Amino acid sequence: MAGMKNLDRLIRKLDSLGGNVQHELRIGTLQATKLVQGDAKDLASTDQGRLRNSIQAEVKELDAETIQGRISTNVEHAAYVEFGTGPVGQANNGDLPPDIRSKITYKQDGWWIHESQIDAATAEKYHFFKIETDSGVFYYTRGMPAKPFMYPAIKGRRKDVPKIIALRLKQAIHKLGGGR
């Protein structure tokens, strides 16, 4: 794992003391993942809290040597919040790494939203242009700025994650009598 210089040494020591390496790695990874999840929830913009409440953390053993911590959301508008939309979103996604930015496609012209797809208070909140037609009210937008919450949470904790996992291994070693 990147950033864990002594991970192999800690794993060997825990193993030699009869500790359950996979179990301790899984717990350390879960602790680190929960920390990132908490940051993502703190950073997520909220109206009714649906996005914030949907942010989940999980740990999976992909194979005998790989444990993965994952933070995700299943709310359909999460990507629009994270990356923004339209030319407005594209104009302010500069904090993203180029490899991620290059994979996002933004609609370059504005679009109309029928009143059946948005409530009037929300349209007014974002100052959408409004027209009334025989087919109903339509609101025009050129997109919304990005309000990232996942990427900054991960980026902000990238140095802490390996430390948390290493600390968990050290605690397990200490419990088994192998600590100093």
- Tens of pLDDT, residue by residue over 59-104, are 999 887 789 999 999 999 999 999 999 999 898 887 888 888 889 9
Domain ranges of the chain: 1-74+151-180
| Res 125: pLDDT | 86
Place of tokens 């993502």: 40
Give the C-alpha distances (Å, rounded to integers) separating 96 from 62, 69, 158: 27, 21, 15
| Res 2: pLDDT | 42
Give the C-alpha distances (Å, rounded to integers) separating 8 from 2, 133, 171: 12, 68, 15
Nearest CA among 59, 67, 62, 57 for reference residue 21: 67
Cα–Cα distance for residue pair 136/123, rounded to 1 Å: 14
Q: What is the pTM of this model?
A: 0.82
Give 46 or 105, the one with higher predicted confidence: 105
Cα–Cα distance for residue pair 30/22, rounded to 1 Å: 12
